[in-house]
Structure 1
Amino acid sequence: MTLAVEHGTFGYRRAAPVLRDISFAVDAGRLLAVLGPNGVGKTTLLRTTLGLQPWSRGRTLLDGADIMTMPSHERWRRFAFVPQARNAASLSLTGLDMVTIGRAAHIGTFGQPGRADRRIARETMAEVGIEHLAETPCGQLSGGQFQMVLIARALAGGPEVLVLDEPETGLDFRNQLIVLDLLDDLVHRRGLTVVMNTHYPTHALRVADEVLLLRRDGAPLHGPTAEVLTKESLGEAFGVLLEVLEAEIDGTLHRSVLPLSAIERPGVA
């Protein structure tokens, strides 16, 4: 299974394109991280890749087929999207109710989830380690717990491609690692294709097989993570002086980005 974008361009009417001539391909069992400074179109890229917003030019392909030619129910059986987690304080749905919503593409427009759907939802919650939240109202969940519920909701539909918009943003240090380790497991144990936006280059260095680095000026950079996320490319893209550090711990090579200072630019980017 291969997900590809060919010459994707997107812009709002009477405005310069937000995204211009984007092309990439990612295979099953691979994680692609999308990075770039604020305002370069990272979330827009996810939405256009999924067909939630149509490309102005270009197309998204799944195994060579244009996804916009697929029936909607087929597309959403094969894709799942985890948006940025919002405040869940007003949600009265339980964790199980929320995860069961992920079965919608298998139920039909006017159908109701059945016993099998709720069983799959419970099994999915157990798989990601949150079965104890099944009867808890989402409004009572912490940010990290709610993020895991949203990921479980996406997985309950049995997708081939999982797309996430900043899944670790707003979480504490421990919960960020839990989410990243779960994504790594989904890719390398279950063989899912995962595409995620992130603000954290170090997180991409931890879990991504490849990176798409969007830049304000110049074409995006796409390739293996360690080759794309260099001191030079990150410094130029983000306007930051930095070092990329390496340390071998227990036989595993770890890479981390150490920001030193912002390069002088007018205003906040």
Structure 2
Amino acid sequence: MNTTSPSISSNLQDAQRAQHTSSHNTHMFNSVTHTSPLLTPETAKLDIRNLNFYYGQAQALKNINMIIPENRITALIGPSGCGKSTLLRVFNRIYDIYPKLRAEGEVLFDGQNILSDNISVNELRAKIGMVFQKPVPFPMTIYENIAYAIRHYEKLSKAEMNNRVEKVLRDVALWDEVKDKLHQSALGLSGGQQQRLCIARAVALKPEVLLLDEPTSALDPISTAKVEQLIEQLKSKYTVLIVTHNMQQAARISDYTGFMFLGKLIELDTSNNIFTNPKQQQTEDYITGRFG
């Protein structure tokens, strides 16, 4: 169950801006993907091969090849409009609901190409959950925010539903804060609590992969710390892919980091290597603030 619709028009504008970037910059930032030896098809939860994505005629992703390892946190960094959020939206096929958007190439999820016409998109979105930048709880009770999502995929008894709701709220460290107001509106929660509720709604469907698109950008530092702690705990059960503009956050919580620019994956390696010994000069220029 998705938390909100993505801003497709904004992404289209980003793609068009990327295509009109000066030829000097395009020459400077040719795609040079470096993959850690630890990242192999055998360790992959998602294996992306020759992926291209288009908003109409505007190409937003260009020949992406990368491994997303199972039960690890992979962060995507890069300037606005470089394709990070678009890449996340490919992984659960959310672009399908918009005309003239298309993906080419392969995205193997446990060995199966999710871009195939034979894939059940509803089942895919249950297995690959997504949480967006702004917390958007449903305008209903805290309890129903979780139960409503589950009912779309499973038939549970009242007791089973109560147990599931409690479990996922405990999983996101929210139970103790809301257990006495489950039947109050979720809109009364703080921003940080709302975002953890949105994460709970995603994990309630028992996904295998969690896509997090700047999940803390709208939160205060204390709420951000709680969500970061939660994300680190979630990797024991889920494969996590997070888009962030906060490079300190990527360094703190991720196992691997990929740097993107102009729709290309420039470098992918362990986060320690990316932030202390990047292989590509353009990666170093970005993380040290020389551009971006």
Tell me if both proteins adopt one fold, taking TM over 0.5 as the criterion.
Answer: yes
1:80 paired to 2:129: yes
Q: 1:144 to 1:217 in 2, by over 3 A?
A: closer
Match of 1:3 in 2: 46
Please, which runs of 5 or more residues in structure 2 have no aligned partner?
Answer: 1-43, 97-101
Task: Name segments (4+ residues, structure 1) moved above 6 Å.
Answer: none
Task: Supply the distance in 2 between the matched residues of 1:219 and 1:203 (Cα, whole angstroms).
Answer: 20
Higher relative contact order (CA 8 A, sep 6+): 2
| Correspondence list, 1:1-269, <5 A | 2-15=45-58, 17-53=59-95, 55-67=102-114, 68=116, 69-86=118-135, 92-104=139-151, 106-107=153-154, 114-115=157-158, 116-131=160-175, 132-133=177-178, 134-187=182-235, 189-190=236-237, 192-216=238-262, 219-230=265-276, 233-234=282-283, 236-237=285-286, 240-241=289-290
* 2:18 corresponds to: none
Deviates most, 18-27 or 126-135: 126-135
CA contact (8 A) 1:22 1:220 kept: no
Alpha-carbon distance between aligned partners in 2 of 1:87 and 1:73, rounded to the nearest angstrom = 20
User: Does the residue aligned with 1:214 lie in a helix, a strand or coil?
Assistant: strand
| One-letter identity of the residue aligned with 1:208 | S
Q: 1:234 deviation in Å?
A: 4.7
Report which stretch shifted further, 113-122 or 139-148: 113-122
Give me the whole-angstrom Cα distance separating, in 1, the residues matched to 2:263 and 2:206.
38
Give the drift of 1:104: 4.5
Q: After TM superposition, give the deviation of residue 175 of structure 1 in Å.
A: 1.1
Q: Could you tell me how far 1:28 is from its partner in structure 2?
A: 1.7
Work out whether residues 99 and 121 of structure 1, in 8 Å CA contact, stay in contact via their aligned partners in 2. yes
State the distance in 2 between where 1:11 and 1:36 align.
Answer: 19
Structure 1 counterpart of 2:170, one-letter code: A
Pair 87,70 (structure 1): closer, same or farther in 2 beyond 3 Å: closer
Q: Over residues 241-266 of structure 1, what are the superposed CA-to-partner deviations in whole Å (9 max), with x where a residue is unaligned?
A: 4xxxxxxxxxxxxxxxxxxxxx5xxx
More strand by share: 1
Q: How many residues align?
A: 234
The RMSD of aligned alpha carbons is: 2.4
The 1:206/1:12 distance shift into structure 2, 3 A limit, reads same
The corresponding residue for 2:8 is: none
- Give TM-score, length-normalised by structure 2: 0.72
Contact between 2:267 and 2:283, CA under 8 Å: does it hold in 1?
A: no
Would the alpha carbon gap of residues 237 and 216 (structure 1) be closer, same or farther in structure 2, given more than 3 Å must change? Answer: farther
Q: Is the 8 A contact 1:82 1:163 kept in 2?
A: yes
Structure 1: 5+ residue runs without aligned partners? 242-262, 264-268
* Structure 1 SS opposite 2:216: coil
Cα distance change, pair 218–72 in 1 and its aligned pair in 2 (3 A): closer
Distance across 1 between alignment mates of 2:46 and 2:263: 26
Shift of 1:233: 4.4
Output the TM-score relative to the length of structure 1: 0.78
Change in Cα spacing, 1:117 to 1:217, as seen in structure 2 (3 Å) is closer
* Counterpart residue type for residue 57 of structure 1: E
Q: Secondary structure at the match of 1:39?
A: coil
